[in-house]
């Protein structure tokens, strides 16, 4: 793929491009100290910094970002504020049971409401629309899967789930491909790059010092430091000493030796159309403007932008070998996404696509998020494994990390996925083989059972 050089962040997605020129913060230079150092300037790291200062103004927090805040998944995702925890409710039940599934659902309902409320109360300009979320079945096998997920949702006492039959779907959308739907009105869509950069401003207003273009080259835990600064973090031009540390690196955790085997990046791709005309919008319906996913293994996800472009992603994922974090682009994947749009809405044939991009999401072996500790003294914490559903989860996760770091006892800090055991991936080349095997199984099942027709 084209090499992205420093300052070319806008080439990573339409979202980042649409922001125009960004003036980055200065990088870390010389020696600094902090009570808490945060590595990673995406949704998780920024939320953690914000909540630390809201809970305790006196704590000294400094954040290091390798590029600009929002360069990673936070500036490239689909922008869905949704309640999904892990891959599917039924898989969460299989791995963790009904009661823990209820815990996870409560956390995610809270996350969606908290994020939407925060944006509204702070008048944040990020094109937020509380338009809802729709999971659709597009063939008989998907109908059976969706019906099963609805049964699990009832068992886990999900709040706010509506069942949309074919008649309801045909009133909302001018397509014959939607056969059964799961709708949640509390959910919404946003412009992720606007949101992450607005959150950065809020974090700085609270007093967090943010250094951009400050990649961490190495970090070490100091033995019995007399000054209490347990960690030494080295960047190209500086050193940051910290008492405690937060790894908010998500898929980029593959670059850190201590976290390397506990998650793996999977690369998802997105295409975007030109703005639809009023006539084209009328031809497809979609007046509710809900974000949509289908009930495949490797899902399609799509939504509208403020100026009525269609953003469509998914269908396949890319798997990386070793520490390669540059597998954003895949022309075959892009072309299949474009053809899928015309399968759903054949009336849009001939519309132009203006942008295509991709990026890594963080996948754990049991397909569920984790908030964890590195070391028995619990001075280092991390969070990752959002499985591509992190817009809402990250904001609430940052709040949870802040509570853990400050020694608070809350409903969130007692959740089952806080400090849970994480099953590691095997070392290479077995890691790559296993990841490809899982991907291959999902692709085959989609082709045989859950494909479009």
Residue 439 CA to residue 445 CA, distance in Å, equals 10
Residue 324 CA to residue 326 CA, distance in Å, equals 6
pLDDT number for residue 144: 96
**Structure tokens that stand for 325 in this block:** 């974090």
Instruction: Please tell me what DSSP assigns to residue 173.
Output: B
Whether the ω angle into residue 195 lies within 30 degrees of 0, i.e. cis, is no
| Sign of the C-alpha dihedral computed for residues 165, 167, 173 and 174 taken in this order | positive
Residue 277 CA to residue 272 CA, distance in Å, equals 15
Q: For 292-319, what is each residue's pLDDT tens digit? A: 999 999 999 999 999 999 999 999 999 9
**Structure tokens that stand for 185 in this block:** 């009105």
Q: For 54-65, what is each residue's pLDDT tens digit? A: 999 999 999 999
Name which of 34, 5, 106, 38 is nearest 415 in CA terms. Answer: 106
Residue 103 CA to residue 418 CA, distance in Å, equals 12
Asked if residues 276 and 310 have their Cβ atoms less than 8 Å apart, the reply is yes
Residue 333 CA to residue 239 CA, distance in Å, equals 41
CATH code, 9-76+193-262+367-433: 3.50.50.60
Residue 326: pLDDT band with limits 50, 70, 90? confident
Tally of CB atoms within 10 A around 423: 12
Residue 390 phi/psi, 5-degree rounding, is -100, -5
Between 101 and 257, name the one with better pLDDT.
Answer: 101
Domain(s) of CATH 3.50.50.60: residues in the chain = 9-76+193-262+367-433
Chain length of the chain: 453
Asked if residues 306 and 288 have their Cβ atoms less than 8 Å apart, the reply is no
Q: Give percent of the chain with pLDDT exceeding 90.
A: 87
Instruction: Please tell me what DSSP assigns to residue 255.
Output: G
Residue 282 CA to residue 28 CA, distance in Å, equals 52
Residue 130 CA to residue 290 CA, distance in Å, equals 8
- pTM exceeds cut of 0.85: yes
Domain(s) of CATH 3.30.9.10: residues in the chain = 129-191+264-364+443-450
User: How much is the mean pLDDT over the chain?
Assistant: 95
Q: For 91-146, what is each residue's pLDDT tens digit? A: 999 999 999 999 999 999 999 999 999 999 999 999 999 999 999 999 999 999 99
What's the mean pLDDT in 350-358? 97
Is the pLDDT score of 268 beyond 90? yes
Is the pLDDT score of 396 beyond 60? yes
Name which of 204, 158, 200 is nearest 183 in CA terms. Answer: 158
Residue 358 CA to residue 14 CA, distance in Å, equals 10
Is the pLDDT score of 1 beyond 70? no
| Cβ-Cβ contacts under 8 Å for 102 (sequence gap 6 or more) | 156, 157
Spell out a b/e string for 16-51, using b for 16 or more CB atoms within 10 Å of the CB, else e.
bebbeebebbebbeeebebbbbbbbbbbbbbbbbbb
* CA dist 443 → 33, 335, 359, 436, 448 (Å): 48, 16, 19, 10, 9
For 36-40, 145-149, 365-369, which range has the lowest pLDDT when averaged over its residues? 365-369
Instruction: Please tell me what DSSP assigns to residue 24.
Output: P
Name which of 361, 352, 340, 348 is nearest 294 in CA terms. Answer: 340
What's the mean pLDDT in 149-175? 97
Is the pLDDT score of 3 beyond 70? no
Class of domain 129-191+264-364+443-450: alpha beta
Asked if residues 90 and 144 have their Cβ atoms less than 8 Å apart, the reply is no
Between 233 and 4, name the one with better pLDDT.
Answer: 233
């Amino acid at each position: 793929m084209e090499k992205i050089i420093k300052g070319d962040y806008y080439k990573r997605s339409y979202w980042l491009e649409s922001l125009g020129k960004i003036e980055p913060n200065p990088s870390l230079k010389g020696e600094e100290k902090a009570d808490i150092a945060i590595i990673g300037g995406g949704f998780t790291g920024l939320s953690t910094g914000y909540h630390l200062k809201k809970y305790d103004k006196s704590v000294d927090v400094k954040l290091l970002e390798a590029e600009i805040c929002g360069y990673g998944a936070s500036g490239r995702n689909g922008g869905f504020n949704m309640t999904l925890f892990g891959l599917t409710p039924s898989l969460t039940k299989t791995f963790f049971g009904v009661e823990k599934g209820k815990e996870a659902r409560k956390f995610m309902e809270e996350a969606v409401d908290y994020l939407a409320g925060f944006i509204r109360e702070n008048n944040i300009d990020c094109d937020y629309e509380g338009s809802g979320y729709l999971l659709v079945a597009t063939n008989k096998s998907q109908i059976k899967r969706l019906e099963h997920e609805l049964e699990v949702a009832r068992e886990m006492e999900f709040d706010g789930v509506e069942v949309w039959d074919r008649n309801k779907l045909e009133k909302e959308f001018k397509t014959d491909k939607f056969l059964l739907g799961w709708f949640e009105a509390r959910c919404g869509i946003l412009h992720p790059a606007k949101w992450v950069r607005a959150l950065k401003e809020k974090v700085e207003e609270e007093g967090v010092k943010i250094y951009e273009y400050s990649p961490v080259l190495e970090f070490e835990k100091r033995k019995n430091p007399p000054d209490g600064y347990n960690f030494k973090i080295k960047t190209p031009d500086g050193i940051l000493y910290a008492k405690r540390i937060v790894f908010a690196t998500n898929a980029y955790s593959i670059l850190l030796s201590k976290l390397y085997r506990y998650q793996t990046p999977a690369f998802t791709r997105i295409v975007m159309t030109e703005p639809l005309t009023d006539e084209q919008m009328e031809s497809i319906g979609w007046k509710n403007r809900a974000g949509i996913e289908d009930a495949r293994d490797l899902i399609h996800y799509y939504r509208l932008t403020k100026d009525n472009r269609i953003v469509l992603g998914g269908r396949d994922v890319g798997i990386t070998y070793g520490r390669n974090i540059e597998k954003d682009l895949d022309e075959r994947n892009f072309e299949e996404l474009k053809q899928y749009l015309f399968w759903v809405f054949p009336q849009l044939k001939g519309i132009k696509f203006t942008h295509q991009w991709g990026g890594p999401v963080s996948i754990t072996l049991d397909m569920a998020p984790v908030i964890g500790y590195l070391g028995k003294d619990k001075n280092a914490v991390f969070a990752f494994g959002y499985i591509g559903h992190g817009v809402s989860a990250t904001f609430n996760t940052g709040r949870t990390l802040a509570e853990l770091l400050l020694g608070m006892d809350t409903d969130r800090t007692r959740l089952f996925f806080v400090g849970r055991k994480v099953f590691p991936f095997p070392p290479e080349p077995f890691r790559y083989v296993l990841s490809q095997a899982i991907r291959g199984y999902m692709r085959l099942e989609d082709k045989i059972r859950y494909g479009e027709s």
